[in-house]
Amino acid sequence: MVVSRSYLLGASASVVAGAALGGALQVTVPGARLYMEVSPGLAAGLVGLVVAGIAAAAAWVRRRAAAVTARALRRAAAETARDRQRFLLRLDHELKNPLTAIRAGLANVQSAEAATGTAYALASVSAQTDRITRLAGDLRKLAELETRPIETAPVDLPGLLHEVAEAANEIPAARQRSIRVAVPRAPWPLPLLDGDRDLLFIALQNLVANAVKFSGPGDAVEVRASEDGDALLVEVADTGAGIPPDEIGQVWEELARGRAARALPGTGIGLALVRVIITRHGGQAAIRSRDGQGTVVSLRLPLPGRAETALVVAGPRQRRDTPGKAAP
């Protein structure tokens, strides 16, 4: 605030000084031409005014930018806090259920008279322990993927997609789905991607496995790839159950499991894993879904230094008539 006032002061002082020293503005008319004679004082005043104006504007822009940044940071911090809160609640939930089951199972073992009861309780305790083990393992995978160095090499995306589809066909439920891979060959084959093939495999495999998991017999699963300027686009689409609107905002978060997924095995780490892998590759992941109709996940993976491809965008032809004529 102090700064801005001093700039205003400086600006008005320059104007006053310029006007006072310049005295009058002389206008002469020699021949047909018009000259303006400006006193050195006024010139200095005007320059001062312009400089002060620029400085004031720059300070204002800086302050605005700082305010915008601060607001964005506050928003991001609040968002992070909310994410963290949601994550802890989910973790709590994911741990509580198996732990409750384990305690109940152990209580049964301690008071069991019939040997059959003991065997059942122990099997249940063992299964719940596996569940917690899987959860711990999945969380570690995520944490590791976020930090470990990525080993990049040229990746042949079509080959990878076919391998992913092949692996997906080995999932027992996949037999009643049709899984198709569509990769363009014209006008030229898809360029090579720079990435970690193993990690990309895992991301794509997760998406296709999800598509199989959340669809039923007779549903279609499509894996498509295309080139879009400086990136490759990959889509994994299905005609499955879709995601309810109130759940779609959270699908990329750790341990997020929709109501439909509760009955299915899994720890809710798959899409978070996909997100981490794709962002580690400098890419973006997005999801669109219609409840009851299907889901499509789109990945955008940047391509390394591209050979120039000429691009001419067609726009609407210039119209001679004025717009609004054909209004109603």
Partner 1 sequence: MTGAPHPRPVVILADDDEAITSNLAAFLDRAGFAVHVASDGEAALDLVERLDPDGCVLDVLMPRADGREVLRRLRASGRWLPVLLLTQVGESGERAMALEEGADDYLNKPFDPQELVARLRAVLRRARPGRRPLSAAPTLRAGDLRMDRISRRAWLIDAELMLTPKAMLLLDYLLTHPDELLTRDRLLEVLWGFDFPVGTRAVDNRIAELRRALRDDPGQPAWIETVAGQGYRFVARVDDGR
Binding site for partner 1 (CB under 8 A): 133, 136-137, 140-141, 144, 148, 151, 153, 163, 167, 170, 197-198, 201-202, 205-206, 209
CB 99, min distance to partner 1, A: 15
Smallest distance from the beta carbon of 2 to partner 1, in angstroms? 51
- In sequence order, the 6+-apart residues with CB closer than 8 A to the CB of 150 are 195, 196, 199, 280, 281
Q: Write the DSSP symbol of residue 224.
A: E
Q: Classify 314 as helix, strand or coil.
A: coil
Contact by Cβ (8 Å): 210, 168: no
Give whichever of 75 and 140 is closer to partner 1, judged by the CB atom: 140
Q: Which is nearer to partner 1, 22 or 177 (CB)?
A: 177
3-class state of residue 304 by DSSP? coil
Least spacing, CB of residue 59 vs partner 1, in Å: 47
Least CB distance to partner 1 at residue 306 (A): 24
User: What 3-state class would DSSP assign to 218?
Assistant: coil
The Cα 241–Cα 207 span in angstroms is 14
Give the shortest CB-154-to-partner 1 separation in angstroms: 12
Please identify, using beta-carbon distances, which residue of 7 and 213 lies nearer to partner 1: 213
Question: Quick check: helix, strand or coil at residue 178?
Answer: strand
Which C-beta is closer to partner 1: that of 205 or that of 239? Answer: 205
- What value, to the nearest 5°, has the Cα angle with vertex 148 and ends 143 and 152? 130
> Is the separation of the CB atoms in 86 and 250 below 8 Å?
yes
Nearer residue to partner 1 within complex by CB, 55 or 201: 201
